[in-house]
Amino acid sequence: PGDEVLIPEPSFVCYKPLTIMAGGVPVIIETKKEDKFKLTAEELADKITPKTKLLILPFPNNPTGAVMRRSDLEAISKIIIENNIMVLSDEIYGELTYGGTKHVSAAEIDGMKERTVVVNGFSKAYAMTGWRLGFAAGPKAVIKQMTKLHQYGIMSAPTTSQYAAIEALKNGDDDISYMRGEYDIRRRFIVNGFNSMGLNCFEPEGAFYVFPCISGTGLSSEQFCEQLLHSERVAVIPGAAFGACGEGFVRVSYSYSLKHITEALSRIEHFIKSV
């Protein structure tokens, strides 16, 4: 109890409550658009205290699509090692990067393997969200303690899910490659669409989300999403749901077809002209 966990935001909504449930204290690190929503060494160093025990690294990132390059990871790894901090690296979108950007795991960096737990799964890369199957890899002593908790909470994944995962691992690489190409087309299309209608949109390098800035509309992110849903029947997620620094942005998924994305962009443009 009282151990501090560093969480870069904007990020997936579960990290903070799970930290609290485990008796930890979440310490938020706000990333910035001008840094392409990456975690910088300066931001990390500023939040470390003697109570800091863990850093969560959620990259490629949900909701921003930000990706940490090898040089970014090398810069923060020096601080992590100097302060004897463990890392939980959430790499669920690791197979989905674009524009020549390649995902690099924190565990690949010199001195980091022994202090990094990688969590991943089949939901995103293999489009197996309903199968609810994930995995973790890390130092043997840490995984052993995780297993003790896991066996009383979940026990094991359903047999059918495990067989589906085996099939995905054996024969799914071509599907990943194809969908990565499709997502890349949609990514560029939707970024151009938002920028052309006046909603400045950071170009994501991973995952399948864009994070356009809506502050110019004069609406909060929650107001924007609620009014858009009611008036145009288009659902997007308030940026504030992913942390306070997400205010002024909304998360939009491009996991849908180009036809649906085109229609959604048309409706969003109609909406912003009316506010």
Identify the sign of the CA torsion 167, 168, 171, 175: positive
Q: List all residues 6 or more positions away from 178 whose beta carbon is below 8 Å from its beta carbon.
A: none
User: Quick one: which H or E segment has residue 213?
Assistant: none
pLDDT at site 1: 85
Question: What are phi and psi for residue 97, nearest 5 degrees?
Answer: -130, 160
One domain for residues 83 and 166: yes
For the stretch 18-31, pLDDT in tens is: 999 999 999 999 99
DSSP secondary structure code for residue 266 in this structure: H
**Which residue type, as a one-letter code, is found at position 214?**
I
| CA separation for the pair 41, 85 (Å, rounded) | 14
| CA separation for the pair 266, 96 (Å, rounded) | 26
One domain for residues 110 and 135: yes
Torsion from C-alpha of 109, 111, 113, 118, nearest 10 degrees: -60
| CA separation for the pair 189, 198 (Å, rounded) | 15
One domain for residues 51 and 159: yes
| CA separation for the pair 208, 249 (Å, rounded) | 16
pLDDT at site 128: 95
For the stretch 34-68, pLDDT in tens is: 999 999 999 999 999 999 999 999 999 999 999 99
Half-sphere exposure of 11 toward its Cβ, with a 13 Å CA cutoff? 28
One domain for residues 140 and 230: no
One domain for residues 10 and 42: yes
Of 170, 195, 229, the residue that ends a domain is: 170
The enclosing domain of 95 has a CATH number of 3.40.640.10
One domain for residues 78 and 118: yes
| CA separation for the pair 215, 248 (Å, rounded) | 5
Beta strands at 25-30 and 209-210: parallel, antiparallel or unpaired? unpaired
One domain for residues 234 and 103: no
Of 137, 170, 203, the residue that ends a domain is: 170
Helix (H, G, I), strand (E, B) or coil at 179: helix
pLDDT at site 153: 87
**Which residue type, as a one-letter code, is found at position 18?**
L
| Partners of 25 in the β-ladder | 4
The enclosing domain of 254 has a CATH number of 3.90.1150.10
One domain for residues 21 and 134: yes
One domain for residues 89 and 216: no
Structural domain boundaries, residue 101: 4-170
For the stretch 125-175, pLDDT in tens is: 999 999 999 999 999 999 999 999 999 988 889 999 999 999 999 999 999
pLDDT at site 105: 98
Q: List all residues 6 or more positions away from 214 whose beta carbon is below 8 Å from its beta carbon.
A: 199, 221, 224, 248, 249, 250, 272
DSSP secondary structure code for residue 51 in this structure: T
| CA separation for the pair 17, 207 (Å, rounded) | 23
One domain for residues 230 and 182: yes
- What is the number of structural domains in the chain? 2
pLDDT at site 154: 87
| Both tokens assigned to 33 | 């658009």
* Residue whose token pair is 């302060």: 83
For the stretch 207-236, pLDDT in tens is: 999 999 999 999 999 999 999 999 999 999
For the stretch 67-116, pLDDT in tens is: 999 999 999 999 999 999 999 999 999 999 999 999 999 999 999 999 99
One domain for residues 161 and 184: no
One domain for residues 187 and 248: yes
Of 140, 170, 200, the residue that ends a domain is: 170
